[in-house]
């Protein structure tokens, strides 16, 4: 949306851009899509499928009329979700786009399906991007995308449009065949990515630093209207020599224009700058996922007491103030304990072995004595 002091001028310019975007979409549809039977996708694609099916039974209804009818329910829901201003812009977009489909009847520029899919997708995406960037909608997939993006800002309008259009393409496989459906899918994907580029810019997340004399009002608007958190901290302006409040707020690129508008409406003398954020993890952005790790976490181990030959062998840590041991220390300690236990076992079994040995010796001596006595008697 455009920043201007006069709200009537702002709305007038926004409406003009929305109308311009609708006619750009109408031109792309009539010179690239319709002559080559490339399916539009979204609610427009549904309207096209219904119109073609009705034409086979000699019922001719314009695509624009069907498009208006199937957008009615979604429009009512959008009014409740996105507010009156969006509702006004959306109804202008829906009516203008329906008109552009009828008015912009231009000859085809090429019969190459690939070229028409690529260039048609780029031009059509530019039209969608302009409409969404200035707060409007043409209904169908992009209106549904605006509703979902309002609830879930991390889901972009372009991706919602691609998803809805893909469903339409799957349906079209059974009506138009595989070849045209695949070319239609290329056009839909390109238009969705182009609209994302126009609407959001090349970066998806931006961090804004805002310096204003009315930070509380700005933070309140950011929280209630953008559903974004804001952090304020004190700073000292070297030039002014005053203590100031700095607001930090992270927004998706789709919300950049709305943030600027909020700041401008509250404090036209505010100073703000933004930086690109490579990644944001937390509520409202990407979730922090728990992943398996191969890192070994050392735990505090209770020191064992081992008795060997009536003597106490107590293992003592190398560092009494340390609560954690390295893996090598733990391994060495375990080896020492095992050795001590073996030695203890051997020592505890030694008396029994000595007793057994003494008994064997006595038995042998007794046998030798008896044998000697026998030999002497013989002699």
Residue 167 confidence (pLDDT) = 82
List the structure tokens of 82.
Answer: 């996105």
Residue 323 confidence (pLDDT) = 43
Rounded Cα distance between 22 and 131, Å, is 7
pLDDT along the chain (379 residues), means of 10: 69 90 91 85 82 85 82 77 77 87 83 91 90 79 76 74 78 84 87 80 76 89 85 86 88 80 88 81 66 42 47 44 47 56 52 50 63 60
**Domain 205-276 classified CATH 3.30.70.120?**
yes
Residue 3 confidence (pLDDT) = 55
Residue 93 confidence (pLDDT) = 87
Contact residues for 198 (Cβ-Cβ < 8 A; gap 6+): 125, 126, 128, 129, 130, 132, 133
Angle between helices 178-200 and 113-133 (to 10 degrees): 30
Residue 122 confidence (pLDDT) = 93
Residue 306 confidence (pLDDT) = 46
Residue 350 confidence (pLDDT) = 45
**Residue of 27, 26, 36 lying closest to 181 (CA atoms):** 36
Calculate the CA dihedral of residues 129, 131, 132, 135 and round it to 10 degrees. 150
List the structure tokens of 274.
Answer: 């933004």
Among the residues of the chain, which ranges form H helices?
7-28, 42-56, 63-70, 72-82, 84-103, 113-133, 140-151, 157-176, 178-200, 215-225, 256-266, 327-378
Residue 292 confidence (pLDDT) = 43
Residue 231 confidence (pLDDT) = 87
Residue 357 confidence (pLDDT) = 47
Residue 229 confidence (pLDDT) = 85
């Amino acid at each position: 949306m455009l920043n201007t002091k006069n709200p009537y001028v702002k709305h007038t310019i926004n409406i003009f851009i929305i109308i311009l975007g609708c006619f750009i979409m109408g031109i792309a549809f009539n010179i690239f899509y319709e002559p080559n039977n490339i399916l539009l996708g979204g609610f427009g694609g549904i309207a096209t499928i219904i119109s073609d099916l009705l034409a086979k039974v000699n019922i001719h209804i314009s695509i624009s009329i069907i498009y208006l009818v199937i957008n009615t329910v979604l429009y009512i829901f959008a009014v409740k979700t996105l507010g009156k201003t969006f509702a006004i812009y959306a109804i202008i977009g829906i009516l203008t786009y329906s008109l552009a489909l009828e008015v912009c009847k231009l000859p085809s520029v090429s019969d190459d399906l690939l070229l028409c899919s690529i260039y048609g997708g780029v031009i059509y995406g530019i039209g969608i991007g302009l409409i969404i960037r200035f707060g409007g909608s043409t209904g169908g997939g992009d209106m549904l995308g605006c509703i979902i993006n309002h609830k879930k800002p991390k889901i972009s309008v372009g991706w919602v449009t691609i998803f809805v259009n893909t469903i339409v393409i799957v349906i079209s496989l059974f009506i138009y065949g595989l070849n045209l459906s695949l070319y239609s899918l290329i056009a839909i994907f390109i238009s969705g990515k182009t609209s994302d580029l126009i609407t959001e810019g090349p970066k998806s997340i931006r961090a804004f630093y805002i310096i204003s004399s009315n930070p509380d009002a700005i933070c309140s608007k950011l929280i209630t209207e953008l559903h974004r958190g804001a952090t304020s901290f004190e700073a000292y302006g070297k030039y002014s020599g005053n203590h100031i409040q700095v607001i930090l707020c992270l927004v998706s690129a789709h919300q950049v224009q709305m943030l600027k508008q909020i700041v401008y409406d509250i404090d036209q003398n505010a100073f703000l700058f933004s930086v690109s954020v490579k990644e944001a993890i937390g509520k409202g952005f990407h979730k922090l996922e728990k992943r398996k790790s191969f890192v070994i976490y050392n735990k505090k181990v209770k020191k064992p007491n081992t008795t060997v030959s009536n003597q106490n062998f107590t293992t003592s840590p190398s560092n009494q103030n340390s609560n954690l041991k390295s893996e090598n220390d733990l391994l060495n300690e375990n080896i020492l304990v095992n050795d001590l236990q073996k030695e203890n076992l051997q020592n505890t079994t030694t008396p029994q072995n000595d007793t057994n040995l003494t008994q064997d010796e006595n038995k042998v001596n007794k046998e030798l004595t008896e044998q000697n006595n026998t030999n002497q008697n013989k002699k």
